[in-house]
Amino acid sequence: MARYELVKRSVALITLTNPPVNALSSAVRHAMAKSMEQALNDPKVTAVVICGENGRFCGGADIREFAGPLRGPPLVPLLDAIEAGEKPVVAAIEGVALGGGFELALVCHYCIAHFKARLGLPEVTLGILPAAGGTQRLPRLIGIPAALELITTAKPLSSRRVSMLTTPCPPDLDALLEVVTMEVKKKARGVMAPLACIQAVRAAATMPYSKGIKRESELMATLFNSGQARALQYCFFAQRTAGKWTLPSGAQWNNSKPREIRSAAIIGLGTMGRGIVVSLARVGISVIAVESEKKLLETGKQMVIGMLERDAKRRGVSASLNLLKFTLSLQDLKDVDLVIEAVFEDMALKKRVFQELSKVCRPATLLCTNTSGLDVDALAGVTDRPHLVVGMHFFSPAHVMKLLEVVCGPRSSSETIATAMSLGKRMGKVSVAVGNCPGFVGNRMLKPYMDQATFLLEEGATPEQIDKALEDFGFAMGVFRMSDLAGLDVGWRIRKESGLTGPDVDPKNPPRRRHGRRYCPIPDMVCEQGRFGQKTGRGWYMYDKPGGTNAKPDPLIQNLLEMYRSRYAIQPRNISDQEIIERCLFALANEGFRILEDGIAARPEDIDVIYLFGYGFPRHRGGPMFYASMVGLERVLERLEHYHQAHPDVPHLEPSPLLKKLVACGSPSVQTWREHIKTMHSHL
Ligand code: NAI
């Protein structure tokens, strides 16, 4: 009544055998139930195919059985069990799938039908209705109008070729497409592909197939030849390239074995520490979190638990709270496999922590720092194991942001680097190995980019104009909105510590010059007014309340800029969007070339991946280095020379030797730049 076979040692083939139409008699239902049980319980079986003998799938219930009492297993629970089964079930339909046979097909996870097959629900002709879920599943599958037509008329469908169908169209098609277009434009600024998809679907709805398919191919040709497709395909490969880290010593991803990490500790439960704890615990690593004071420990603990619970709820799993331990004592870290330090950005404090860790932790424990720019090697130097010290630079919020810069000090062993890279991967991060220098790759490049933005303010632009130009380019957020989100006080503190501003600066120093180069004090003036960004409700913009996210232009900033310009006798000028993009992004890429020269990044792909995953660089532009190559290196060089001539006191605008060298070599493609950097010194 149903034949069970194992095909290719992994597919269970169940053939209904009840001539002439393989009706679902009690014997067939019984045999099917047994066969399904066998298939679901056999670990060798990975999928099930149901078909009917003699080229007929199933003609439905056995009408002869209607007269008597029900015998054998009822159909509905049998069908429900097939649908709920964990293995995929495919209905292979030939001939007919009618009534109960069609309902059987409806519960299968996939259906394949011969184009001559007939499908339908003829129950109404017998004065009944499709009662094995047909009236419930079909409307869900094909919508109410089409389901009503099939169920109430009993007209069978032939299995038509999809290209011959007309597209079911809502009456308000234009309004629907308009809404989707707006959503797509908002989510993916300036990206062509989703808009082209909408146009293609419009063609499906409004044209016959032969014309629609032509439109599809025209749209594809436009996309295929666009820079965006090239950029997005480059991003796909760049991400894979970045995983294949390589050091000049010959150590690389495929010859260095990572250690297994079962337990970790985090020092400091502030903004970053909390996110790192969550990232580790949710992949099953037990974590000891350390704070300096009881109250901070308790606050941190509650925050971490809340974050883990929300995260687990979203993923439909249970929160791994049993993996967490909270303590005030470093002594509890004796046996952990790895420590990540995330205390304040203060070298003296970090050194003290590393010295202490070096004493407390067993000799094999890896010691990592989340510093956003301090010298990783100086920290390694205060420990008894410099080869086991590495930077693991997460981005905020650490449990959300995908990027991890693995900062290799000159003494970090290849095993240490491999372990940090593989731990990053395990946490779902995109890890990029970088060398040790102030700011590493991402933050080092950010400086010239942000400098240009503030210089443009001096010269006549507004924060909203600059942000708009960058957002139109494709950034999720312009530089000023991003700074407001991150908090302006962080950079202010760093500038004070490095003697650029604050009471320690010699008042005889001209305010707009530091260390022999142009300096813009406007960000310091904004901070002096207690405007630290979103968290204080005021920054480059104003917000409804502290912590608000709705940025509005602030007339006070406008006043501040006007007063500033008049104090320094700066005649404001109209600045074009093109100048904004060129000065910000070419300065950014120029620093990228220097980073390649210095061997802080091994390849342009690494830099691009850092900017894509850590700094919101638009993916359809490929990253700053790819973007420079798309604009044309010759043009980038010419524009940098032009801007450097106009602003000779801005060294970041002076074209880097590598850029000049690449232009002299005929501007080779990004993927081959590495060959031109080979001879230079590497910090990796
Ligand atoms: P935070 O100020 O939010 O947190 C630091 C935490 O460390 C505080 O809770 C403090 O009580 C604790 N702490 C200080 N000394 C300690 C000690 N001796 N033992 C245990 N805990 C101690 O700072 P945040 O933002 O989390 O930054 C931490 C580190 O991460 C810094 O090095 C920072 O540069 C870096 N970083 C920060 C990013 C950010 O966007 N906030 C991004 C990437 C890195």
Dihedral over alpha carbons 20, 26, 31, 32 (to 10 degrees): 80
| DSSP states of 345-375 | S-HHHHHHHHHHHHHHS-TT-EEEE--SSS-
pLDDT (average), residues 23-50: 97
Q: What is the pLDDT of residues 405-452, one digit of tens each?
A: 999 999 999 999 999 999 999 999 999 999 999 999 999 999 999 999
The dihedral through the CA atoms of 554, 557, 561, 563 has a sign that is: positive
Given pLDDT bands bounded at 50, 70 and 90, which one contains residue 258? very high
Query: How close is the Cα of 345 to the center of ligand 1, in Å?
Result: 7
For residue 517, the cross-strand partners are 514
Which atom of ligand 1 is found nearest the CA of 396?
40
Given pLDDT bands bounded at 50, 70 and 90, which one contains residue 680? low
Predicted complex ipTM? 0.99
Contact 370 CB / ligand 1 (< 6 Å): yes
Pocket test for ligand 1, best of 266, 267, 272 (most atoms within 8 A of CB): 272
Contact 290 CB / ligand 1 (< 6 Å): yes
Residue located nearest, by CA, to atom 25 of ligand 1: 271
Is a pLDDT exceeding 60 seen at residue 65? Answer: yes
Contact 405 CB / ligand 1 (< 6 Å): no
Cβ neighbours of residue 368 closer than 8 Å, sequence gap 6 or more: 338, 339, 340, 341, 389, 390, 391, 392, 420
Contact 340 CB / ligand 1 (< 6 Å): no
C-beta separation of 190 from 474 below 8 A: yes
Predicted confidence at residue 93, as pLDDT, reads: 98
Mean pLDDT check: name the lowest of 71-80, 258-267, 413-422, 607-616. 71-80
Contact 270 CB / ligand 1 (< 6 Å): yes
Which atom of ligand 1 is found nearest the CA of 369?
32
Cβ neighbours of residue 267 closer than 8 Å, sequence gap 6 or more: 273, 290, 330, 339, 340, 341, 342, 343, 353, 357
Q: What is the pLDDT of residues 135-169, one digit of tens each?
A: 999 999 988 888 999 999 889 988 877 788 888 88
Is a pLDDT exceeding 90 seen at residue 66? Answer: no
pLDDT (average), residues 515-527: 96
CA gap 561, 319 in Å, rounded:
49
Query: How close is the Cα of 480 to the center of ligand 1, in Å?
Result: 23
Full set of structural domains in the chain with CATH: 2-235 (3.90.226.10), 263-437 (3.40.50.720), 461-567 (1.10.1040.10), 577-599+602-677 (1.10.1040.10)
Active site residues per annotation: 103, 123
| Cut 0.90: pTM above it | no
Contact 252 CB / ligand 1 (< 6 Å): no
Contact 371 CB / ligand 1 (< 6 Å): yes
pLDDT (average), residues 174-196: 91
Using the 8-state DSSP alphabet, how is residue 441 labeled? T
Predicted confidence at residue 573, as pLDDT, reads: 97
pLDDT (average), residues 318-337: 96
Query: How close is the Cα of 370 to the center of ligand 1, in Å?
Result: 8
Which atom of ligand 1 is found nearest the CA of 290?
20
